Structure 1
Amino acid sequence: MDSSEFRKRGKEMVDYIADYMETLSVRKVTAQVEPGYLRRLLPNKAPYRGETWEAIMKDVDNAILPGITHWQHPNFHAYFPSGNSYPSIIGDMLSDAIGCVGFSWV
């Protein structure tokens, strides 16, 4: 991935995240699958070449999200929702881009 594709996919990801956050209330709060469901959906070996962005995002929607408990869902009351506001997500993006170890003294 070069910087041009990074810009494109980054913008797509921001849209994906915003769409996810806006549709939380219509999703099921907890996982709708049995433990271990993902094993049968994964290949036995890692692919030799990476998959397309579209294939990866399809896997996120069809394989990963069904197994998620949506902690930011308005009907999830087990924990106080924090650390997932839009400003927090943008802050994480910047922190990840800088990529420094937070405990380094040098």
Structure 2
Amino acid sequence: IARNTGAPRDRLAARLKSLVAEGILEKHEYQATRFEYHLTESGRELLPLLVSLLAWGDRWAVAEPPMILEHHGHRVRPTTVCGECGEAIGSGGLHWTPNTPGWSMAGPEA
């Protein structure tokens, strides 16, 4: 990770430690003082989000994608669909309802 990102090792260690503490990664020793990290169930559920962020970055943040993500031989174009009806989710058709006591769409109620 350090070689591919240029991030300082101490910063990477701190981030990995926090991802383990939050239950997103699990740390496994494979040699004395050597570890590998595996996604937990919670971490695996982040995959659709990460794929969507990668696609967004490829379109808006770089001139040429540094990596190509493929699925069965074709480039991935992620979309979000409703698990109930199967319809693609866009900005139309969504309805937001505050679900926290004391909050409205304008924020906390006085």
Would the TM-score normalized by the shorter structure come out above 0.5? no
The TM-score with structure 1 as length reference comes to 0.27
Flag the structure with higher helix content.
Answer: 1
Structure with the largest fraction of strand: 2
Asked which structure has the greater RCO (Cα within 8 Å, sep 6+), the reply is 1
Q: Rg bigger for which structure?
A: 2
